[in-house]
Structure 1
Amino acid sequence: MLNQSTINKVILAGKIDKEPRWHVKNGKRTLNFSFVTTERIKRNGFDELFHEYHQIQANEQVIGKETLNYGTPLYIQGRLQTSPYTDDDAIKRYKTVVVAYSIEPLGF
């Protein structure tokens, strides 16, 4: 059992779902993109595909010289980060993203 220690680690293997976009915040560039993982589950005796969508943020050092486009298969390691924001109706909401610290191309 962990004693006063915590772990915040995410491991994903999937594909880029939407074309990545660069954003600049506080002088730092980050690449943001939607990522989809797919698993096959049995439901009522039939195989069904279940898709889960994740928002990914990665800084320039993590991306390196990789070219990331829609459909690129990747292996991502990172951590979860949740941030509050206020929507157009002045309601406080939360957004959770995966902050990547390792991205590797996959060949599937």
Structure 2
Amino acid sequence: MINKVILVGNVGADPEVRRFDSNTPVANFRMATSETYTDKQGVRQTNTEWHNIVAWRGLAEIVEKYVKKGSQLYVEGRLRTRSYDDANGVKKYVTEIVADTMKLLGRREGENQNDSYSYGQANSAAITSQVDAIEAEGSDDLPF
């Protein structure tokens, strides 16, 4: 079976990064994706979907350093649904994407339009290298 999600969108608010007792970081943020189409009357419509993204360990550290509200991201991960009981004892369900891979897209604040491509390409490559190195360290934890 395959459980794979690929998203390209914009971060809706600054990520929240927490650390557990073992100092394991986890980052949570919401990301918007949009679809634009023309309806039967010829009117252009845009539908926006919001996604809850969760990043762990090394990827969470990269989110903490580089991702902020408005960042454009490419995210690959898997879909997970979990449940919990709220304060009133009502069961709530949360669907989220657990990120495996992330790339920063677009340009950094303060850069002009001509610099955006080289920054995005260099920055994405640097972050991908960091994530690969972090994942290689923990490769003994793989279940297969």
Q: Shorter chain as normaliser: what TM range?
A: 0.7 to 0.9
State the AA in 2 paired with 1:80. Answer: L
Other-structure match for 1:22: 17
61-70 or 80-89: which moved more? 61-70
| Number of residues of Structure 1 aligned to a counterpart in Structure 2 | 103
C-alpha distance in 2 between matches for 1:68 and 1:98 = 16
> Could you list the runs of 5+ residues in structure 2 that have no partner in the other structure?
108-144
Q: What SS does structure 2 have at the residue aligned with 1:99?
A: strand
What's the % identity of the aligned pairs? 32
The structure with the largest strand share of the pair is 1
Report the TM-score, using the length of structure 1 for normalisation.
0.85
Q: Which runs of 5+ in 1 are unaligned?
A: 1-5
Q: Which protein has the bigger helix share?
A: 2
Q: Distance in 2 between matches of 1:48 and 1:13?
A: 19
The code of the aligned residue for 2:53 comes to I
Instruction: Compare CA radii of gyration and give the structure with the larger one.
Output: 2
TM-score normalized by the length of structure 2: 0.65
Contact kept, 8 Å, 1:63 with 1:103, in 2: the verdict is: no
